Structure formats: structure tokens, C-alpha cells
A and B are shown apart, each in its own frame.
Chain A
Amino acid sequence: MSIPGLGQIAPQAPTSTQRTINLRPFGEWRFSIPHQHSTFSSNSSAAGVTVRLVAGTAERDGTELTPHKDYTFLPGTKSKLFTDQGCTLEINNTGGYPLEDRVVEYPHPEQSPMVSYINLHFGLEDYERAAAAHHAQHPLPHQQQGRQGGGGPRPKPGPRVLVCGPHCVGKTSLVKYLGALATRMGSQPLVANLNPTDGLLSLPGTLSAAVFGTLMDVEEPAGGFGVSSTPISGPSQTVKNPLAFYFGREKAGEDVETWKQMTERLAVLCKRKLERNRDVRVAGFLVDTAPVDAGDKEGQELLAWGVRQFDVNYVVVIGSEKLKTELGQRFASEKTSFGEPVTVLGFDKSDGAVQIDKGWRQKSTETAIKEYFFGGIKARLSPFTQSASFDELVVFKAPDDPYEGAPVLERVEITPEMAHWTLAVMIASVTDSPQAIRFSSVLGFIVIADVDVERRRVKFLSPVSGRLGNHPLIWGRWPEPYLNLLA
């Protein structure tokens, strides 16, 4: 597992700690590999904890491991390998990472929350199949006709599921799990994320969506939801194509209006995709959301907004019966635009759901940014450092404290404070209205490396060479600056 050029990793002598564990059906191997405090290197983190599936089946968040293949879990990963049939794993921590792990087994399958998740999957799948059958009976008019005409009854799409719950109950994991299972069965759900704290196939601070047709990358810390699965110029096996809007704040509550509009925009596009793409139409949506507690009226308001926008007909609540009750009341009388009722389902949280503290999250964000520009062990990427004059870059910024009637964006001069910030490159023209720029999708990101006020030049890191042209940039407040990216 040693890859040349890893000088900076693990000054301590690599102690080969290999062991084999057996898991009974519905057992889990939970593990946590802390982030490395490392300076940047494009080929860093080449080593992690290696796991090999010797017998049985095992999966990370629904994506199966291949037998007899080494999987390397990287620092900054908190996850678990789950087996529904029992398995034997060979764990190899040659790198001497401070791996924390434990085996959790249940005497009876029904004690594992995974049972209900699996049942949920099959429930949704049946719904999907019903939708597919429906389509088979009522074939859509040809795409183009569909566009022109739009007459006739609307075909009922597959299930649209929104997952919500309090902090750290495994919302994203469940979304991932459902997505992975669906993918495994050959369908292609559209996964959307409405929680700007994290990024789905994007950097934090964005609201994004992508269709999951390819497998998820089980090795990356985010388990397939990380930015490392976005397109690169070379071949990649787990690539997905994200659509991202740049919210630029950590929490939706910091700018509710924008969040709502952005969610609406995202939903509109997702629904358009749903209409035009048969596979997505059959597979439906999976929507991940920000944490909401029972009694949190504002948070639930946002959830309800998401439910309406995405035409959600299954609201999955994890880890809070009370929240489930409240949402159940809220949606009791609601109907989707397809006339379906909104069903609220409650689930226990897995006791393995881990707390993610601020430090960990920050590290993960940094990892994601690094991954975006420099890639990981799968593919090393070469970003481009560019230099431009102040006049060449058009930077907008959302008002710090949105007030009634505030402009959505205001043009800002490049200042030294921008150094180390990650700016979003928008797919719009600088001449567009601020509104249009704000709600256009993200082309990519750049990181401001250095601002030279005297010469009025700015150095930045861009994933792609070539000028930014007249793509406007947006300077948000999230993700926060990453000081060591270029150190």
C-alpha cells in the first residue's frame, strides 16, 4: 500500500495491524478515522485503512464492496460497513492510523434499524415499479411532443422522498443508502440536497442535485456524496453530474428568502429533468435536508417548502417521533401536485449515527475543497494557478445581513480579505442582472490565493485553465476560507 512520495504521512512507524473480523447478518463494523493534520500534498492521503471483504457481502451506505478487493478508507471518514448476510472482513491498518472501530451485532435482525431502512427501500421500489408500469401503460408522448403539447394526464412519477430529522441522526446516510440501493437495482434516482452546511457532489454552501446512476465511491470520506465524484477531465468510474446553486451561507435560516428561491429553482430543474428523463421519472427524488428539531417552527417551515417544491410524497423522519407527529399534522391535509397525499414515516435513528462536531466538519470541508482542486487517491488533478487583474474578475457578494429590500447581490471590489476564500463561478454573464446571477447554477469554484493590491492583480486557483471570461463570481460566507490549501 505504500505509494512513493508520502513523506509527510505518519511519522510514527507504520505498525501493521491486520486482523479479521466476522460479522453476523445485520452486523456492522463502525469505524472512524480522524482527519490527518497534514499540510497539503496532491498525493497525500494515499494511504488509509484498508479493508478487504473475504467472504459474504458487505456494503457501505448501500454500495456493495467487491469481494477480495482492497478498499482504502481515508482519514476523515466516519462510517460503517454493514452486512445483511454476514461477512468476513480483513482490516489492515498498516498506516497506523488512529482508527477507532467497533463491531455491533444484533441478536435479531429486527433490532437493527437497517431492517426498516431496507423495508423502506422495497416499499419505494414497489412504488417505483408501479410508476414504471403506469408509464408502460401510458407511454409518454414523444419528448418533443411532450414539450410542445403538454396535454393529457400527467404521468405519476416515482416516489419523491424527503429525509429529515434532528442533528446527526443519519439523514444523509439514509439518503445515500436509499440512493445506493436504488442504483443497485438499476434505477436512477435524483438526489438533491437542501442543506447548505454540507455539499452533495459539490462544496459546502451549495444546494445541489444529481442523478445517481453510477455506483457511489465507497472509499472517499463522504461515501459517494463528495465532490470527488464530480466530473474530471479523465476517466472516472463513479462520476455524477451535479447541478449546484451557490447559497453561500452555512444555514438556510441565515437567508431564508434566498434559500427558498434557490430551492424552488433547483426543484424546478429537477422536475424538468423528471419529466424529460424516463429513468429519473420512474426512480423519483431523494431529498436530503438540514437538521430540524421538533418544535422548530422555522425549520419545519423550510421543510414544508422543500416538500412542496419537490412534490414530495414521502417524508421520512428519523430519530424524532415528536417531529414526525408535528410534520404528520402539518402534511395531513396536503397533497402533491399529482394529487397524492404526503405520507410521513418515522424511523429510529441508528445508534451508530455519529456526532459531527465543528472541528470535524471544518476539516471535512477543507478536504472537500482540496479534493475539488487536487483530487484524491483515485485521480490526482492539476488545477491551474492563474493571475488576473482586478478588472478581469467581477465579484459579487450577497449582503451580509439580508434585510427587506436588500439587493440580492452587490458588486464588490477585490480586497485582500478575499484571500483563501472559495468563490463560486457562476454560469451567467457579468452583464446579467444580479437576480439572474444569484440564481444561476455554478460552473465551478476558484480559490483566491493572493491579492496584490498595489499591482491590482489577483492570483487564484482554478480547476480549469483558461480565462474565466465574463463569468461572474460570488463571494459567499460559506465555506469558510481554507488557509492551508496552498501552503
Chain B
Amino acid sequence: MTTDAAADVAEDYRQALEDLTVNSRIEIATLTNIARENAIHGLAIADVLTNHIKKVPPTRTLPALYVLDSIVKNAPTPYALYFGPKLYSIFMGAYTKVDTPTRRKMDEMLKTWKEPVAGALGNKPVFPPEVVKPIENALIAAKNVALQVNQSSFQGQQYMLRGARPPAPPHRDTPTPPQSPYHQPQAPPHQGISIERLRDDIQQLIVAERAEFARDPLDVGKQTRLKALLDLQTLIQRPDVPQEQLMLVKEKITELSVNMRSSVATAAAGVVPVAAPPHHYNPVPYTATPTPPVIPGAVVPPPPQVPGVGRPASAMAVPGPGAAPGAGGALSLDSLFGQGALAALLAGATRKSATPTPSQTSTPQPPIATPMIPPPAVPPVAAGIPVPAPSAAGSLAALNPALAAVLRSQTPTMAPTATASSITNNPSALLAMLRQSGLLSGAAGTSTTPVSVVPTPVAPAAAWTYTLKQYRGPHLINRLHEDLGPPCTQCGRRFGIDEEGRRKKTAHMDWHFRVHQRVTDAERRGQHRSWWVEQSDWANSSEAIDIDHSHRSDAATHPSGGHGGGVPGQDTLNYDDDVDDDDYDPEANFNSSYNNADSLYPGGGAAAGGGDHSGGGHGHASSGKATANRKGGKRGGGGLNYIPVPEDSAKVNNMCPICQEKFEMKWLDEAQEWVWMDATKVGGRVYHASCHKEVNGSGAVGGDGGGGSNGMMGMSMGMGMSGGGENGFGGGRKRKAEDDAYSGAKGRIKLEY
């Protein structure tokens, strides 16, 4: 076909088209004449024009389309044939990239195609119905989507249909969904498989299947089939599908569609496939404005691939006011265009990617118009951000998962497992799925190829937003269960089986054990709700550390005073050892992984312990912000000086040997037990901490972050809230033993409570 002459003509014609920038009737007429005179090279010209329409910027699309319109009207003989099979992709491709006024023009133009050329003798339409119909269907489908969007009262139906139709496609109100018959008569004169054809066929199948499904939503078989079809549709969009597979798919589709059509008893009878329009219309001068814009429902174009893409309703980030269903006209145009076309527009507006797309197919056939796909050269900005722009990238991606592929190739994000995208990526996965669903009786023999086992590929984060409603198989669910490891028998939390997991689990079980131990104890002593932490403490604290395997419960339950606010150390009473262990063992683990010096242990662990080694243990009232950077085993934080009332007081002196005053016994909330305040136990004898310190003068100064050998760095940063209740929202300063005020303004506990 492509002789030298044809090539020359095509080249000339291409250049002529390049010059066509405005809607000039003269130029269009000239181009029409050239085309008519070179009808012998019609195919080349048609190809040139087709490509031109796809490539020109939106502003110049309309004139190009007018050329097409003019040509088919004035020289239908070869050209209607040439353009017919590709009309869908040409039209929809253009439709998606142009702006609203242009669309209205296109709608008008589309209308004229259904009618005989004005003044013509015959009454054959410009294009046969089977060519125009899919376009109209697509537009109607879009409108239905918008309708559905607006009808939340559709709940019931949505519920029924929710699952099997991932893309939440319109429920077709068209009486006879799959009516458009095959384009058999217009088989393209090309080698290989026409992707467009295939796609159209699949689309029809989907429509039919969907109708079937709507009739019987509970039929799993139909669901699966429908889903497989949708996936298939997605796949076909991909450029790199091997021919053999296409062949395979095509055979199957053909077979299926035959069955389908017979079973669905469509009204196809009325729409007899027409081979070509009859010859010799009287040429009609081209008019730029064909017919008034009475567009019934034909507004938006989610091209047929849309439903298949797994686009959840959510992808429609932009839909316009969308309100009035059937508001028709411009309003519904706007609203409907949100479906994708507008998104494309926006995309074009926001970044300059509206340039028509490069070819998407690898077949000899001219590429499908997929202008929805931004050229691979999408600015890295878009590709780099794994988030879909709600209006642009998101919708784009939603409309065409091939974009996902594009994005994917650019973003090495490690990412989600999208079977859908895996399918787009992996034709054989699709085939497996088809096989599974019974669409293909594949060589594998069994129909149970577990699709789910397909290793989850890397997909851009953006991808997931439009496959939200797709069930992606049990492997994903396993990630929520088995993959996390076996659950804790106490609380169900799961821990991995690797080294790290085991370590955590051990700590976790220890923690459970200790909690259990202490719960009864705590109940016996009585417990209460704690005050909540102050805002800056809260903001600076780090729960992170103490999930369960840390000592979270203790730490967090004492957001303020700190658990025990300074439980005396090991040289006081044995009683405390448990507590100490509670507080510290786990934390020793965490310090290694969290060297966040700022991490706040809300009270609790950090504050507990006091300066135990010193014997003085002069802690301070801590508001719980012990900024401790402890090493394992070292005790941190500061605390009050008190000891629990010895269980057998008879064995212990109940009077300070130094000042000869009795110890004041008091219920300490933080410790949750009766304590002797301001007491410390040194070598079997109990002293007032303050007395002892005065005498010995060497008490550790907990608050100074020393504690001598403690090697800890405790810092009290309270809130300067005098009289701040039990929990000591103390001043934001370091305190020494002298002002071991138990809380802000309380003064020395020894003196007064």
C-alpha cells in the first residue's frame, strides 16, 4: 500500500495539516479536495490525518477533526471506510483532550454522522451505526456514571454490584447493552491483530457480561468472568503485549462474543452490520457547525477502557457540581467530564503533558488513541511523588492503568500489591487469571491456577487509589496475619519468627507476666485514673518506645508523677525489686534502638528509681520528663525519697535515727502504696533522706543527672505549676535534693501534705 507515491502524498498532506491551525473553512475545503483527488492514496492520507488528530495540541484538534468530517462527508467512498474502524479511538482520544466548548462541537459533529449527508440522495448515514454507536454508548456510559455518583440512594444496587465491578461502572440503563454487533465487515486491511478491534470487542463483552451480572449478581462465575474481562481490557492497553498472546486472547474473545451474543439475544438484528456506505452522495459543502447541540446523554467519554481499569469511583476527584442528573448541556458536561476528560484537561493545564501521546501499541496497527496517558516524559515531579494528584495524575491513572505502568517504570517505589497492575504488567498472569475464571481453558488443564500467588509487583503508590475495590487475593490478607508471625496467646499481637521478632516476643511475654503479677497487686491496693499529660510533654514524649514490650503500661500510666517517683533502689527493700525490674529491663533494650535523647518516658520508668546507688537517692519531683539516656541497667530519672512502708515495721526502726522523728506514713498515689516519705534506707536502717543527706553531705544529686555512678542523665522539666496536684507539674528547672518538692508548691512532703 505504501508506495513511494503514497508516501509522498502522505508527507505533503501531513505538512499541509501542520499548517492548519485555525478553523478555516477555506483550508479545510482545500484539504478535503486534496484528499478526494488522492483517494487512491486514501489509506495513507487517512493514516496521516488520524495521526495528526492524535498529535496536535488540543487547540488545533477541532480543525483537524473538521477536516476528517469534511472528508468523509465529501468523499465517503474510501474515507468512511478507512476512518470507520478507527473512528472510536480518534473521536474519544480527541474528546478527552479538548476543552468543553470543543466537545460540544464534537458532539454536534457526532450527531451529523448519524444522519445522511444533508442534500444527499440516499439516506445512508455518514458513518454506519455500528461505528457511531460505541462512541455514543461511551458517552452515555459516562453520563450514567455521573448519575450514579449522584444517587447515593443507589445504595442497594451498589451493594449488590459493588464487588464484582471494581471500577464502579455505570449500571447500564440502556435497554440492550451489547447490541452493537461486531465490526466484522470492516476488518482492517492490516496484518496482525487490531488492538482497537479487540478492545472494542472486549468492551462489548464487558457490557454484555455486566448486563448478565446485573441480572444475577450472585453468580460467582459471572463475576469472575467479568473481572477477568476487565483485567483483560486493561492488559490490552499495554504496549508490549506479545502478538501471540493477543492472538490467543482474540480467539477466545471471538468465541466468547459469539456465545454471548447468541445468549443475550440482543436487538442486534436491527443493526445489521453494514459493510460500507453506498457510493455517490452528492457532495455537501462542509459546514463548520453541523447541528444544534441537543445531546441527550451523550456527554462524557470515559472511553470504554475506563470501566475495565478498576477505576473506583474515588478516582473521580474532580467531578464537577455533578449534581443534577440529566441537567444536560454544559452543566452536565462539566460535571461529567470530571470522570476523566476534565482531569486530562487539568493535567494539561497544570503541567504541559497534554501533548498527545505516543503510541501505545506494538502492533502494526496505528496506535490507539490514548491521550489520557501522559507521555512518558511526565515531569519527574509527578512521577516522583507517589501520590496521585487528585485531579490530574490520579484521575489519569485511574482512567488508564497503563499510566500506572508508566509511573511504575519511573518510580522505583516499593509498593503495593495490585493484582490489577500485576496483570497489566504481566500478561501471563492475566492469562492465568482468564484460565482460572474459565474464560480460557488453557493448556494448564486445571482451572485453578492460583492467581494470588503471583508475586506482588512493585507499583506506584498512586496506583492503589484506583484499585481500592478490587479483591487482591489472600496473599494480601495473609500479610495481616500469618506473615506477621504467630499471635501472642495473651493479647493476639503477632510477632515475627526472626531474631528480632523473637526478641520482641520474649520481652513482650515478660511484660505480660509482670503485668499479671502486678495487676492483682494493684487492684488490692486500689488504683485510679491518672491525670493526663501536659501538651509539650505529650508532644515530646515517645510512645514509640514502650509498646507492649517496653514498659509502656507503667510508663504511660504515670504521665506525671512517674511511677513511684523514685522507688528506692536495690539497697532498700526487696519489695521493690520487682518494680525495678519492671521498669528497667525492657527499657534497656530500647535505648539501643532509640537514641532519641528527647524521648520522654512519661513519668514511669525514667522517673522511677531515683538515685539508688547513692543511698541518698535524692530524686526530685519529676513531671515525668526525665530525659534519660541511660545505658542498660543504669537507673535513671529522679524521684521522691520515700520507701514503701516496710511490711514488718517491727523489724525496722520507725523513727529517724538522726532527728528522732517518726516517719510520716502516707498513701502515695504514684507508688500506689503506703510509703514513708522523705525516707531512705541505708544499710538496714531507715533515715529521713534529708537528714541523712545533711549528715553525710554526699548524697547523690539525682536531679543533677549524676546520681554519681548512675551514669544517667535525669532532668526534671515540669510545668511550673505550683500546687499542681499529686503529679508534680513542677517547674522547668533542675531541682536538687533541697527542693525535693513532691510537687510544685507542695513543699517538702515531710513537712506538710
Chain A contacts to B: CB under 8 angstroms: 25, 57, 63-69, 84-85, 106-113, 115-116, 118-120, 122-123, 125-127, 129-130, 133, 142-144, 181, 184-185, 188, 211, 213-215, 230-237, 239-244, 269-270, 272-273, 276-280, 294, 313, 319-322, 324-325, 328-329, 331-333, 340-349, 351, 372-373, 375, 379-384, 425, 427, 429, 440-444, 463-471
Given contacts A109-B163, A280-B544, 7 further A-B contacts (CB under 8 A): A65-B492, A214-B543, A277-B544, A328-B391, A340-B385, A429-B721, A469-B744
Q: Which residues of B contact A120 (CB under 8 A)?
A: 464, 468
Chain B residues, Cβ within 8 Å of A188: 543-544, 547
Chain B residues with Cβ under 8 A from A345's Cβ? 312, 314, 465, 468
CB pair B538 A107 closer than 8 Å: no
Which of the candidate stretches B518-526, B605-613, B707-715 sits at the interface with the other chain?
B518-526
Query: Which chain B residues (713-737) contact chain A, with CB distance < 8 Å?
Result: 719, 721-727, 729
Contact residue among A243, A320, A329, A342 (Cβ-Cβ distance under 8 Å from B320): A329
Q: Which of B164, B320, B386, B461 contacts A111 (CB 8 A)?
A: B164
Query: Which A residues are CB-close (under 8 A) to B598?
Result: 143-144, 276
Shortest CB-to-CB span from B705 to chain A, Å, is 15
B353-407 interface (Cβ within 8 A of A):
385-391, 393-394
Are B725 and A466 neighbours in the complex by a CB distance under 8 Å?
A: yes
Decide: A122 and B416 in contact? CB cutoff 8 A: yes
Q: Residue on A with the closest CB to B159?
A: A351
CB–CB A348/B158 < 8 A: yes
Cβ of A164 to closest chain B Cβ, rounded Å: 13
Partner of A118, one of B313, B386, B476: B476
Would you call B556 and A241 a contact (CB within 8 A)? Answer: yes
Ranked 5 nearest A-B pairs via Cβ: A469-B723, A110-B163, A234-B522, A111-B163, A123-B464
How far apart are B505's CB and chain A's nearest CB, in angstroms?
A: 13
Report the minimum CB–CB distance from A153 to chain B (whole Å).
13
Q: Does B23 reach chain A (CB closer than 8 Å)?
A: no
Does the CB pair A185–B484 fall under 8 Å?
Answer: yes
B669 in contact with A466 (CB, 8 Å): yes
- Smallest beta-carbon distance A225→chain B, Å: 16
- A343 with B390: CB separation less than 8 A: yes
**Bound form: Cα–Cα A118–B468 in Å:** 8
B contact set with A: CB distance below 8 Å: 148-150, 152, 155, 158-160, 162-164, 166, 218, 220, 223, 227, 312-314, 316-323, 335, 338, 346, 385-391, 393-394, 413-417, 461, 464-465, 467-472, 474, 476-477, 479-481, 484, 487-494, 512, 514-515, 518-519, 522-523, 525-536, 538-544, 546-548, 552-554, 556-559, 596-599, 602, 667, 669-670, 672, 719, 721-727, 729, 744-745
* 22 A-B residue pairings within 8 Å (CB atoms): A25-B477, A68-B489, A108-B163, A110-B163, A119-B467, A119-B472, A122-B476, A143-B598, A144-B598, A231-B559, A233-B557, A235-B522, A235-B553, A237-B548, A241-B533, A243-B533, A272-B539, A273-B538, A279-B542, A280-B544, A341-B389, A348-B159
Evaluate whether A322 and B323 lie within 8 angstroms (CB atoms) in the complex, with A239-B557, A342-B390, A444-B531 already known.
yes
A110 to B476, CA, bound (A): 14
With contacts A331-B390, A343-B390, A379-B523 taken as known, whether A467 is within 8 angstroms of B468 at the C-beta atoms is no
Query: What separation, in Å, do the CA atoms of A442 and B468 have in the docked complex?
Result: 39
Q: Which residues does chain A contribute within 8 Å of B548, judged by CB atoms? A: 214-215, 237
Interfacial chain A residues near B723, Cβ < 8 Å:
467, 469-470
The CA-CA distance from A241 to B557 in the complex, in Å, is 8
Q: Which residue of B lies closest to A333 (CB)?
A: B391
Please give, as numbers and ranges, the residues of chain B lying within 8 Å of A242 by CB-CB distance.
532
Smallest CB gap from A106: residue in B: B163
Contact assessment for A123 and B316 in the assembled complex, using a CB-CB cutoff below 8 Å: no
Closest chain A residue to B463 by CB distance? A123
Q: Is the CB of A235 within 8 A of B557?
A: yes
Q: Are A277 and B542 in contact (CB under 8 A)?
A: yes
Contact A233 to B476, CB < 8 A, known contacts A110-B469, A467-B725: no
Chain A residue at minimal CB-CB distance from B557: A231
Asked whether A231 lies within 8 Å of B539 as measured between CB atoms, the reply is no
Chain A residues whose CB sits within 8 angstroms of the CB of B553 once the complex forms? 235-237, 239
Contact call A348/B724, Cβ cutoff below 8 A: no
Q: From A123, which residue of chain B is reached at the shortest CB distance?
A: B464
Report chain A residues within 8 Å CB of B494: 64, 184
Cα-based distance from A130 to B385 in the complex (angstroms): 10
Q: How far is the CA of A427 from the CA of B724 in the complex (A)?
A: 9
A/B pair count, beta carbons within 8 Å: 392
Contacting pair A113 B162 (CB below 8 A): yes
- B477 closest partner in A (C-beta): A84
CB-defined contacts of B220 to chain A, threshold 8 Å: 107-108
For A131, give the chain B residue with the smallest CB separation: B386
Given A466-B725, A467-B723 in contact, is the A276-B490 Cβ separation under 8 Å?
Answer: no
**Given the interface contacts A106-B163, A233-B672, A343-B387, does A118 sit within 8 Å of B596 by beta carbon?**
no
Complex CA gap A381/B416 in Å reads 45
Q: How far is the CB of B96 from chain A (nearest CB, A)?
A: 18
Whose C-beta in chain A lies nearest to the C-beta of B382?
A: A341
- A65's nearest neighbour on chain B, judged by CB, is B492
A24 to B488 alpha-carbon distance, docked (Å) = 24
Chain B hits for A239, CB < 8 A: 552-553, 556-557
* One of B152, B317, B335, B465 near A319 (C-beta < 8 A): B152
> In the bound complex, do residue B532 and residue A64 qualify as a contact, i.e. CB atoms below 8 Å apart?
no
CB-CB < 8 A to A118: which residues of B? 476-477, 480
Which residues from B are CB-within-8-Å of A108?
A: 163-164, 220, 223, 471
Given A214-B548, A235-B515, check contact A126 B530 (CB 8 Å): no
Question: Are A122 and B417 interface neighbours, CB within 8 A?
Answer: yes
- In the complex, which residues of chain B have a beta carbon less than 8 angstroms from the beta carbon of A466? 669, 725-726
Q: Determine which of A243, A342, A382 lies in contact with B538 in the assembled complex, contact meaning CB atoms within 8 Å.
A: A243
Q: Let me know if B596 and A278 touch, CB within 8 A.
A: yes
Q: Across the interface, do A110 and B467 meet the contact criterion of CB distance under 8 Å?
A: no
Contact (Cβ within 8 A) A110 B493: no
Cα of A333 to Cα of B481 in the assembled complex, Å: 39
Contact: A66 with B314, CB < 8 Å? Answer: no
Q: Decide if B164 touches A116 in the complex (CB within 8 Å).
A: no
Closest B residue, CB atoms, query A470: B723
Q: Report the nearest B residue to A340, measured CB to CB.
A: B387
Q: Are B468 and A116 closer than 8 Å at their CB atoms? A: yes
B464 in contact with A119 (CB, 8 Å): yes
Please measure, in the bound complex, the distance between the C-alpha atom of A24 and the C-alpha atom of B264, giving whole angstroms: 33
Docked CA distance A215–B488 (Å) = 12
The answer, among A84, A123, A215, A425, for a CB contact under 8 Å with B468, is A123
Chain B residues positioned under 8 Å from A126 (CB to CB): 386, 413-416, 461, 464
Candidates A213, A320, A321, A384; contact of B543 at CB < 8 Å: A213
Indicate if the CB atoms of A325 and B461 lie closer than 8 Å: no
A110 x B317 contact (CB < 8 A): no
Residue on B with the closest CB to A57? B481
Cα(A112)–Cα(B164), bound, Å: 10
Measured in the bound complex, the distance between the Cα atoms of B721 and A425 in whole Å is 13
Asked if residues B724 and A469 are in contact (CB atoms below 8 Å), the reply is: yes
Per the bound structure, the CA–CA distance linking A373 and B528 in Å amounts to 7
Are A231 and B556 also in contact (CB < 8 A) when A332-B318, A381-B528 are? yes
B residues in contact with A64, CB < 8 Å? 481, 487, 492-494
A66 to B512, CA, bound (A): 14
Could you tell me if B530 and A231 are in contact, using CB atoms closer than 8 angstroms?
yes
> Are B312 and A346 in contact, CB atoms less than 8 angstroms apart?
yes
A442 contacts B149, C-beta separation under 8 Å = no
B314 pairs with A324, CB closer than 8 A: yes
